[in-house]
Structure formats: C-alpha cells, structure tokens
Amino acid sequence: MAHVSIRQARKSFGATQILHGVSVEVEDGEFVILVGPSGCGKSTLLRMIAGLENISGGEIAIGGRVVNDVPPKQRDIAMVFQNYALYPHMTVRDNMAFSLKLAGATRVEIEEHVQRAARILDLAPLLARYPRQLSGGQRQRVAMGRAIVRDPQVFLFDEPLSNLDAKLRVQMRAEIKELHQRLQSTIIYVTHDQIEAMTMADKIVVMQAGRVEQVGAPLELYDRPANRFVAGFIGSPAMNFLAGRIADGAFHAGGAAWPLPNAAGGVNGAAVVYGIRPEHMMLSPGGLRATVQVIEPTGSETHVIARVGSASLVCAFRERVAARPGETIEVLPNPALAHLFDEQTGNRLN
C-alpha cells in the first residue's frame, strides 16, 4: 500500500492541452474517485498514473518515489480496464497468473496467489474457463482478481462498471467497496457516474475540462459544493439554479421572493445564482405558489416539475402529491440548505 501524490500534472496531445496542472493527494489505503463528464481528462490522468501515457509536466509520485520516467511494469500498480482486457486465449487461472509467471514466480507461489484471489472474489469454480464462457459480472471479477493477485501498491480502476447492466452495477459497487474494506488498499477509481462516486469513495475529485473543481468527502461535496459545476454534478435529480438578485433580505427571481440561507453574505442588489436541491423543497401551505407541469412518481419519492413565477423548478417530495398538471401547489425551500453562487465566477458565496 502506498500514497500517491499528483503535483501540477499536465498533459497535452500536440497543441491541445488536456490537463492544466492537476494536483491530488491520495492517502495510504484511501479510496479516491475521479469523477467528471466525458472528456474532462480523468481517464488520461489515470493512464498517466499507470504509465500508459507520458507526463507532459508536473510529477506523479507513488509511495514517495517520483515515477515520471518509470516504465509501467516497475510502478507496482494494477489496473482494471473498462473492457476488462482479459486475454481471451487464456483460462481464468492463466489470466490471473500471467503477471506472476512473467515475474518468474514459482508454480507453488502462483497457485497460492491465484487461489487466494479466487477465494476473495468467489472465482474458484471458474478457474478453468475461458473469458468467453463468463458473464459480464464474472469477467469483471476476473479482471479484479488479476489485479489482486499481484498485490500491488495501488489499484487503478478505469470505469470498470460501465459495461454492466444497472442491477449488476449496484451489486458490483457493493462488492468493490467491500473488497476495499477488506484489503485496505489504495484505490484510484475513474467514473463519470456521480452515484458510483458518492457511494464508494472516501474522497471524490471532481474534474472538468482538465481542472480539479473540488476535492472532498462525498457528503462534503453534497453539502457544500465549492461552485456551481460541482453543485450541478453531484446529486440526482440535479440541483435547481435560479438567476436573480438579492434585495430586502430575500432572493428575487421570476417574480417570487425566496428565503436566503442563514449565513448569506449577499449584498443588496447583487446578481447571484440561488441553488436549491430538489429534495430540499418542502410542501408548505402559504409558501411560494408553483404551477405543476409534470409529476413523476418513483415510489419512494415524487418528483414534481413546476413553475414558480417564470422559473422552472424540480422538487422531490417524500410524500405523495395528489396534484395534477396545471394545478397549483405551495412550496418552500429549506433556507438552511440553500446555496448562493456568484453569477460571474460560479463560486460559492455562503
């Protein structure tokens, strides 16, 4: 196990700059997830850690050793690929044993390691099969087994669950998290799915367009997003944003006055963006009048898309809503959980 330091890492392909100086600290045994929309550079960063892409600037250190010029096989890392990259002509056992075989381990050692990994991942009955004969989830587990066998300092996961169906993804999510708790290993994991990031990570790194937007624990990002991008990216359904002005101790947008968060430092007359998560809206008689447009019952909660003044708003209520489209309901935000962002920079104000 080791910690990983990424200091001002830059990457460019020709004239196109992909990463603009990214710095992330990964502690020993920490589960860190790089998350962001496609093209934000998260996979490139992971491949730079693995040594599959060279580093254009800055440095990456694994266990205190700068690895900029260290070839991949000497970095003591293992990677799980999005398409698993299992060798189709090798059985599960040979797939898992390949790296040890290349390293010149004895038969006994190899068998011991393979059996241990197979036990951890429940792969023992599949050892003699070829990848073709496995289901998606099984292949996923073999790919992880191949990584575990090597007992590396750092595990790298590149969108490992994106080829699985929704149900299996939920199951594998739990398995990977359990695996981490069991092995206590350092894991750097890339995904575009914020739910994966929220559910598994010790620490999330939100990236956009080659820059780190915010680093923090999942609930920290949820409770206090540093800027509008993080606020909109984390959480589902996404946060509502209303553009308006602060006047007379309230936020005014689209002809309605919204209560300000307690610690609001908003200046009178300042143009701000008011952010409120759908689940922080409450049905409240005497509140803001909202015209229902669409109702989406999910079972556990009810999503209501409504208009307040000229602004469109998504609300998620725990209770069931009897209103029909076109009818009016009265809603109120929980002001303690509202967010204010600068209209120009998008940075958090409160």
Which residues form the interface with another protein (CB under 8 A)? 50-52, 72-73, 77-79, 81-83, 85, 87-90, 98-99, 102-103, 130-135, 146, 150
Q: Please report how close the Cβ of residue 98 comes to another protein at its closest, in angstroms.
A: 5
Is residue 312 within 8 A of residue 294, CB to CB? The reply is no
Closer residue to another protein, CB minimum distance, 81 or 317? 81
Q: Please report how close the Cβ of residue 197 comes to another protein at its closest, in angstroms.
A: 23
Closer residue to another protein, CB minimum distance, 52 or 183? 52
Residue 251 CA to residue 262 CA, distance in Å, equals 12
Half-sphere exposure of 204 (CA within 13 A, CB side): 28
Is residue 272 within 8 A of residue 342, CB to CB? The reply is yes
Q: Please report how close the Cβ of residue 103 comes to another protein at its closest, in angstroms.
A: 6
Is residue 218 within 8 A of residue 331, CB to CB? The reply is no
255: alpha, beta or left? (left if phi > 0; alpha if psi -120 to 50): left
Closer residue to another protein, CB minimum distance, 104 or 326? 104
Closer residue to another protein, CB minimum distance, 138 or 214? 138
Closer residue to another protein, CB minimum distance, 33 or 147? 147
Q: Please report how close the Cβ of residue 135 comes to another protein at its closest, in angstroms.
A: 7
Q: Please report how close the Cβ of residue 238 comes to another protein at its closest, in angstroms.
A: 32
Q: Please report how close the Cβ of residue 133 comes to another protein at its closest, in angstroms.
A: 6
Closer residue to another protein, CB minimum distance, 29 or 137? 137
Instruction: State how beta strands 186-191 and 203-208 pair.
Output: unpaired
246: alpha, beta or left? (left if phi > 0; alpha if psi -120 to 50): beta
Q: Please report how close the Cβ of residue 205 comes to another protein at its closest, in angstroms.
A: 22
Closer residue to another protein, CB minimum distance, 152 or 225? 152
Closer residue to another protein, CB minimum distance, 89 or 318? 89
Q: Tell me how far the alpha carbon of residue 251 is from its chain's centroid.
A: 31
Residue 48 CA to residue 25 CA, distance in Å, equals 15
Q: Please report how close the Cβ of residue 167 comes to another protein at its closest, in angstroms.
A: 18
Q: Please report how close the Cβ of residue 75 comes to another protein at its closest, in angstroms.
A: 8
250: alpha, beta or left? (left if phi > 0; alpha if psi -120 to 50): beta
Closer residue to another protein, CB minimum distance, 103 or 124? 103
Residue 331 CA to residue 257 CA, distance in Å, equals 12
Instruction: State how beta strands 271-276 and 339-342 pair.
Output: antiparallel
| Closest-CA residue to 256 (of 269, 243, 239, 267) | 243
First-residue to last-residue Cα distance in the chain: 39
Q: In sequence order, what are the residues at sequence separation of 6 or more whose Cβ sits closer than 8 angstroms to the Cβ of residue 325?
A: 292, 293, 294, 295
Q: Which helix (H) or strand (E) holds 169?
A: helix 166-183
